[in-house]
Amino acid sequence: MDATSQRFLMCRPTYFAVDYAINPWMDPTAPVDAALAIRQWEQLRRTYLDLGHTVELIDPVPGLPDMVFAANGGTVIGDRAMAVQFRDPQRADEAPAYRAWFEAAGFEVYDPKHVNEGEGDVLLVGDHLLAGTGFRTAHPSHAQLQEVFGYPVVTLHLVDPRFYHLDTALTVLDERTVAYLPEAFSPGSRAVLRRLYPDAVRASMADAEVLGLNAVGDGRHVVLPAQATGLAAKLRDRGYQTIGVDLSELRKAGGGPKCCTLRLRQGKASQ
């Protein structure tokens, strides 16, 4: 399997904290080791660089503890970037910060008309854009994604609040297939996933509960939480090379490797 070199956007967790709870993983009364969070994030960045990927950085903003989760900063395909609109007021001010970064980097920026949490809920697999809804990204925003990017959008309904973003329940492995937790999806969405990806890797609840599906693939390697040992073994059986990273501190906010990573180069926008 060939690895495709990637260009990612990341945000150092300089101001990381768990000060509020907007998903079931977050407990503001539990201790968080902010220095450890930064070291773990540095290790993730180093892992990408060692794989030959490019990592761009956006400046963290004081008072925005979740800004480390760059996947929620936008959806980027080709030279187009769709900015985001967060469901929760605590994250609202991240949207203009990411928007400004896309503009400065030369992307053609589109503004969301509805709640849309970027690549947390929008994943490109070959010629399909998979879009999650149920907790964060609003269903009507899926139609706007299709208009902006010119890819057919496949709506997937998330049903388990622990897997509130699509990227906590499904990993893109390469242009043809994915790994996912069937229980995180409605019956109809499970049927859609079976139809589109008959060869998909089915993850277990144990792997999903350590955010194992919040992983980043480049076609050959899969960077995933080190604790997701069952999923890693399944992926190796399929010929992928797995690289475990420990993001235990960031998991206290409900995030893993994919949440910290926004893809900047993928597919081609229409026209």
The residues of the shown chain that bind ligand ARG, judged by CB under 6 A, are 22-23, 26, 66, 69, 71-72, 91, 120, 165, 167-168, 253-255, 259
Rank residues 71 and 232 by Cβ distance to ligand ARG and give the closer one: 71
Rank residues 137 and 242 by Cβ distance to ligand ARG and give the closer one: 137
Q: Pairing between strand 75-77 and 7-10?
A: unpaired
Q: Is 139 marked active-site?
A: no
Burial class (CB in 10 A: 0-12, 13-18, 19+), 211: buried
CB of 198 to ligand ARG, least distance (A): 26
- Marked catalytic residue, from 11, 53, 221, 259: 259
Q: Is 165 marked active-site?
A: yes
CB of 256 to ligand ARG, least distance (A): 8
Rank residues 22 and 95 by Cβ distance to ligand ARG and give the closer one: 22
Beta strands in the chain (DSSP E): 7-10, 54-57, 75-77, 80-82, 108-110, 122-125, 128-133, 153-157, 170-172, 178-180, 201-202, 216-217, 221-225, 241-245, 262-263
CB of 194 to ligand ARG, least distance (A): 24
d(CA 170, CA 155): 13
Positions marked catalytic: 165, 259
